[in-house]
Chain A
Amino acid sequence: MGLVGAAAISGVAVGFVYGMLAFSIVLLFKASGIPNFAQGNIATFGTFIVYLLAARTGLPLAAAIALGFLGTAALGVVIYLGGILPRGDGGTLNLAIRTLAVYLLLFAVMNLFWGVGQPFAFPRFLPATSVAVAGVSVSLLSMVTVAMAIVLGAAFWLLYNRTATGLVLRGIADRPEVARLLGADTARLSGLAWLLAGLVAVVVGLLTVPTALLSSDMMDGFFLYAFTAALLGGMTSLPGAFVGGVVVGVVSNVVTVLRGQEISILAIFVLLIVVLLVRPDGLFGHEVVERL
């Protein structure tokens, strides 16, 4: 195993981070039909909350993280109630553009109020140790990342398959009008999806900052990779999001080692276009038949 092998392995780990962000994008898309362009900045926003509480108020990190989860979940709900729900019948592209406005809004808030002196070094919460697995050293962060992905995946599988709420969420995803006719309170459930997406976003942010400095534009590249992963996975498949994330992570890491970062970004762009040309519904999606 040379450098490329090590890059591929770390690519799997970072791929799970992309996968988790993609997962939260798919979660929202399924529940509300909206591609959320602000999801990366929601993650950064949550991470900023944790950072400010821990580094500037002296709160213990665990408490700061707990409050970060709370605050970001609330942010998700606020975005939904304030930005998506009012006059929400203007079509999906209108809603997608609203999330772009939210993207700009969150970015501006972070720059204006917290951005002075960025980027910041986030307080260390994981020891920087690594373990040799089959001759390749794997960092503790990578292992925690994969573990978190498994926990998240399992939790959402249970939510979707073992709870009444999950059943209705699936119903909304498949046939929103029918679910509404059957009495599902779609607004409340969509709000719930935004809340859950906020929670997942904080996890993504916290798994990103140990290897990156915290800044308001930290998630820009991440977000595009995650959205690519979501589309590769078919935009509606939760496991597909992780598979897409790992594909993107491995390709980008390996190309970065071989040809540098710039070419690697280009490679992911080409990957996105090629996969969607060959399989327009992604690797795991199914064709949506338009009724004429």
Chain B
Amino acid sequence: MFAARAHSRTLPISLAILAALAVVGLLPIDQGLRYIVVLSMSWGIAAVGLDLFSGYLGQANFGQFAFVGIGAYSITALRSEAHVGVVPALLLTMALAAVLAAIVGSAMVRLQHFGAALTTFFFAFVLFNVLGGNTLDPITHSENGLAVPPLSWGPLDLSATGPWLYWLAWAMLLAAVLVTSNYANSRAGRALRLLKRSEPVAGTLGVRVRWTKLSAFVFSAVVAAAAGLPLSLAIGYLAPETFHFSNSITLFAMLVVGGIGSVAGALIGALIFTALPQFMQSTGAAEALLFAAIFLVFVIALPDGIFGLLHRAWRRVPWSLPPRARGERPRPAPRTGEQTPPDGGDALVAEDVSVVFGGVRALDRVGFRVRSGTIHALVGPNGAGKTTFLNCASGLLRATDGRVVVAGQDVSRSPAHQIRARGVSRTFQNPSLVPDLTVLDNVMLGLYGSHRWSLARDLAGEWASRGRQRVVGGLAAAALEQAGVPAERWDVMASDLSLGEQKVVDIARAIAGGSRLLLLDEPTSGLGDGEMARIAGLLKRLRAEHRLSILVVAHNVGFVQDTADTVTVLDFGRVIAEGEPDRVIADPEVVTAYLGVAESAAEVGAR
């Protein structure tokens, strides 16, 4: 949804900014400036969390600051009313934010249109009213607000005037940056970018769409709630106005101006927005006007923010090195234990499948069998229902009637990620690679559902998931080799590939998970003869060497004759012919459907 691309591996830049902040902390700066930097680091924590949800997942969250408010109020109330220690108070508060975010989020991730944007905005409005209202008065003290008790931790004075609050905020910002960077660069982060690209595609690759979106939302809320600790200590007094819902928009503005989808950009934005007013000595209203104007100019002219600007400038510098392949290149793993049903079995059986959209019968009692280890072509004029059938077979669409059986199991009611787990993978007519990930990363997404992972491991960083990463990288490399993608192209960004290459990588991603059945939607459309021959050769090799079953939607007659063992012809949602390619293509009914000969002749005659 965002034009701005997300960046991988920006941790060094974030760490450089944190190092600069550490230097500032060591300088003998005056109390006022120290206070401002603590505030901006607190906002920075919330902005970093927001970046994961908005920059990497590409979803709007216009209510992030509400979670900062929940954090600040909850930590303070636990400390001052319930006399809980600061660490348990922080942990309890993060748990509370997780629960609230899970409740709001589980509804939000199902919403379409601008559901997420409006619900988050509305949530911040609700919170502002609750903080100033009577319902929670015993805890929030309504308009009177809450005084934040001073805090010391052992010998460390963490109150607003003490020297150590700066380092608490700094350490928490460091933690937020590390954990968020790990998330963004892990398997889970790649899945977020895939979701940003297309939710249906993510589903067919085994990503649990709603669960993954919800995890990202809860994560960003928990990070924001943690920001409530340094913020509350710095300001010393909580009032509803401090958590006015427009602050969430200001936070979003920081992220956009700093550079969305880069983690480091969130830091840049938070620092600029909080530090600039100090140098301008202006009033609140004039400052708000200036920031709104800056925000608008950035969204229009520089949607990828300051980080994006610097990134592009850096790439222009002649001495800047090309992006280096990270670490060791994975070695192709030997493929083992591919499950192929015994010869003569059916890889897929369609039994009287019907799909009705409103009054239109897109599929009308379609039935055919894909024998295992064969290439089966599905052809027909535009609108015949070919893609609709693939959508049914891959779980993106429920058949109104009938069954789709894969390797003996009915999958007509299964969600996409379960069908994928049964060894069915598909490609789409428009290659749906994630443009801001490399070829290898994209193919690794194909293994998303087939290996056990945990988000906790992803958050802990690369060292924790390195072993798994190596296994999955090896399988992805093997798939790329099988598909015949030369190794020097593996580290190229998907957005820099030609259409033909994209289609091949898309197929590599589909076979990476050890699939038994491939559903390919027009793998040759838009390709020249040479590239088409490359795809034909690849499919024949997959059939011969790996005994894969392939159902391919195609338009090109030559391609079908070259590759397919069997052809099924659809017209207006119905099967009108089936059999060997040469025979079917000569069938007069097929010729009529395809070329509309009889119809156009009649039309010409009528004129």
Segment at the A interface, from B42-50, B285-293, B345-353: B285-293
Select B122's contact among A96, A224, A235, beta carbons within 8 Å.
A224
Cross-chain contact A276 with B300 (CB below 8 angstroms): no
Given the known A-B contacts A227-B118, A273-B108, A276-B111, are A101 and B289 also in contact in the complex, defined by CB atoms under 8 Å? no
Indicate whether B507 reaches chain A with its CB closer than 8 angstroms: no
- Interface residue? A263 (CB, 8 A): yes
Could you say which of B125, B198, B201, B292 contacts A265, with CB atoms under 8 Å apart?
Answer: B125
What secondary structure prevails in chain A residues at the interface with B? helix
- Given the complex of chains A and B, what is the CA–CA distance between A261 and B135 in angstroms? 11
Residues of A within 8 A of B374 (CB): none
Q: How far is the CA of A263 from the CA of B387 in the complex (A)?
A: 48
Q: Is the CB of B296 within 8 A of A93?
A: no
In terms of DSSP, what is the predominant structure of the interface of chain B?
helix
- Let me know if A174 is at the binding interface, CB within 8 A: no
Q: What does the 1/0 interface line of A235-271 toward B look like (CB < 8 Å)?
A: 1000000000000000000000000111101100100
| Residue of B135, B299, B396 with most chain A CB atoms under a 10 A cut-off | B299
A103 nearest in chain B by CB position: B249
Chain A residues within 8 Å of B2, by CB: 91, 93-94
A150 in contact (CB, < 8 A) = no
Q: Is B246 an interface residue (CB 8 A)?
A: yes
Give the distance to chain B from A90, nearest Cβ to Cβ, in Å. Answer: 4
**B135 adjacent to A262 (CB under 8 Å):** yes
Cross-chain contact of A87 among B112, B117, B301, B357 (Cβ < 8 A): B301
* Interfacial chain B residues near A272, Cβ < 8 Å: 118-119, 122
Complexed CA–CA distance, A276 and B119 (Å): 11
Complex Cα distance, B123 from A289, in Å, reads 29
Asked whether, in the complex, the Cβ of A111 is within 8 Å of the Cβ of B122, the reply is no
Is B288 within 8 A of A115, CB to CB? no
Inter-chain CA distance A109–B300, complex, in Å, is: 20
Provide the residues of chain A in CB contact with B396, threshold 8 Å: 292
Q: By the criterion CB–CB under 8 Å, are A37 and B121 in contact?
A: yes
With A107-B288, A260-B134 already in contact, the answer to whether A93 and B1 are too (CB < 8 A) is yes
B270-306: which have CB < 8 Å to A? 285-286, 288-289, 291-293, 295-296, 299-301, 303
Contact with A along B91-129 (1 / 0, CB 8 A): 000000000000010011011111101110111011001
B3 interface hit (Cβ, 8 Å):
yes
Flag if A228 contacts B60 (CB, 8 Å): no
* B428 interfacial contact with A, CB 8 Å: yes
Asked if B252 is an interface residue, CB under 8 A from chain A, the answer is yes
Interface residues of B in 365-413 (CB under 8 A from A): 387, 391, 396
Contact of B300 among A86, A93, A277, A280 (CB under 8 A): A86
Contact with A108, one of B1, B288, B303, B357 (Cβ below 8 angstroms): B288
Given contacts A83-B300, A90-B303, A93-B1, is CB(A104)–CB(B117) below 8 Å?
A: no
Is residue B215 contacting chain A, with contact meaning CB distance below 8 A? no
At the interface, yes or no: B430 with Cβ under 8 Å from chain A?
A: yes
Asked if B429 is an interface residue, CB under 8 A from chain A, the answer is yes
Residue of B115, B286, B289, B296 near A276 (CB, 8 A) is B115
Contact A112–B286 (Cβ < 8 Å)? yes
A102 at the interface (CB under 8 A from B): yes
Chain A window 97-117, contacts with chain B (Cβ cutoff 8 Å), 1 for yes, 0 for no? 110111111011101100100
Q: Which residues of chain A from 136 to 169 have a CB within 8 Å of any chain B CB?
A: none
A37 to B318, CA, bound (A): 43
Which of B126, B292, B387 sits near A269, CB closer than 8 Å? B126
Instruction: State which of B125, B253, B521 has its C-beta within 8 Å of the C-beta of A221.
Output: B125
Contacts A98-B299, A107-B246; A91 near B3 (Cβ below 8 A)? yes
Distance in Å: Cβ of A30 to nearest Cβ of chain B:
13
Cα distance, A266 to B123, chains bound together (Å)? 9
Q: How far is the CA of A133 from the CA of B60 in the complex (A)?
A: 46
**Total number of A-B contacts with CB less than 8 angstroms?**
147
- With the chains together, A95 CA to B256 CA distance in Å? 13
- The residue from B62, B107, B250, B303 contacting A273, defined by CB atoms under 8 A apart: B107
- CB distance B299 to A97 under 8 Å? yes
* Distance, CA A272 to CA B104, complexed state (A): 11
Q: Report whether A100 and B134 are in contact in the complex, using a CB–CB cutoff of 8 Å.
A: no
A227: chain B residues within 8 A (beta carbon): 118
Q: Is B58 an interface residue (CB 8 A)?
A: yes
Tell me whether B249 and A100 are in contact (CB under 8 A): yes
Q: What A residues does B119 contact at CB under 8 A?
A: 269, 272-273
* Contact residues in B for A276 (Cβ distance below 8 Å): 107, 110-112, 115
For B390, the closest partner residue in chain A by CB is: A292
List chain A residues, Cβ under 8 A from B60: 93, 96-97
Indicate if B200 sits at the interface (CB-CB under 8 A): yes
Return the chain B residue nearest A282 by Cβ.
B113
A265 near B126 with CB under 8 A, answer yes
Q: Which residues of B contact A274 (CB under 8 A)?
A: 107
**Bound Cα distance A112, B123 (Å):** 27
Tell me how far the C-beta of B87 lies from the nearest C-beta in chain A, rounded to whole angstroms.
32
CB of A231 within 8 Å of the partner chain: yes
A65-106 toward B: CB 8 Å interface, digit per residue (1/0)?
Answer: 000000000000000000100110011111011101111110
Q: Give Cα A73–Cα B400 distance, bound, in whole angstroms.
A: 49
B130 interfacial contact with A, CB 8 Å: yes
Given contacts A98-B300, A101-B296, contact A220 B111 (CB under 8 A): no
CB-based contact A292/B429 at 8 Å: yes
Task: Give the residue name and chain of the A residue nearest to B1 (CB).
Answer: A93
Contacts of A109 in B (CB 8 A): 289
Which A residues are CB-close (under 8 A) to B133?
A: 260-262
A112 close to B300 (CB less than 8 A): no
Inter-chain contact A101/B107, CB cutoff 8 Å:
no
Chain A: which residue is nearest B118 at the CB level? Answer: A227
Query: How far, in angstroms, from A139 to B256 measured CA to CA in the complex?
Result: 46
Q: How far is the CA of A263 from the CA of B136 in the complex (A)?
A: 11
Beyond A227-B118, A290-B200, whether A100 also contacts B252 by CB under 8 A is yes
- In the bound assembly, the distance between CA atoms of A248 and B133 in angstroms comes to 21
The verdict on A277 contacting B296 (CB below 8 Å), with A224-B122, A269-B123 known, is no
Determine the chain A residues whose CB is within 8 A of the CB of B296 once the complex forms: 83, 98, 101-102, 105
Chain A nearest Cβ from B118, distance in angstroms: 5
Q: Give the complex CA separation of A272 and B123 in angstroms.
A: 11
- In the complex the two chains form, what is the Cα distance from A276 to B112 in whole Å? 8
> Which chain B residues border A280 with CB–CB below 8 Å?
110-112, 115
Q: Using Cβ atoms and an 8 Å threshold, which residues of chain A touch B129?
A: 261-262, 265
Closest CB in chain A relative to B525 CB, distance in Å? 13
Residue with the highest number of chain B CB atoms closer than 10 Å, among A102, A228, A269, A289: A269
**Interface CB pairs A-B, < 8 A, 12:** A87-B300, A94-B2, A97-B256, A98-B299, A100-B249, A101-B253, A101-B296, A104-B249, A104-B295, A261-B129, A262-B134, A292-B387
The interface of chain A, by Cβ under 8 A from chain B, is 35, 37, 83, 86-87, 90-94, 96-98, 100-105, 107-109, 111-112, 115, 220-221, 224, 227-228, 231, 235, 260-263, 265-266, 269, 272-274, 276-277, 280-281, 288-290, 292
B binding-site residues for A, Cβ under 8 Å: 1-3, 58, 60, 62, 104, 107-108, 110-115, 117-119, 121-123, 125-126, 129-130, 133-135, 198, 200-201, 245-246, 249-250, 252-253, 256, 285-286, 288-289, 291-293, 295-296, 299-301, 303, 357, 387, 391, 396, 428-430, 521
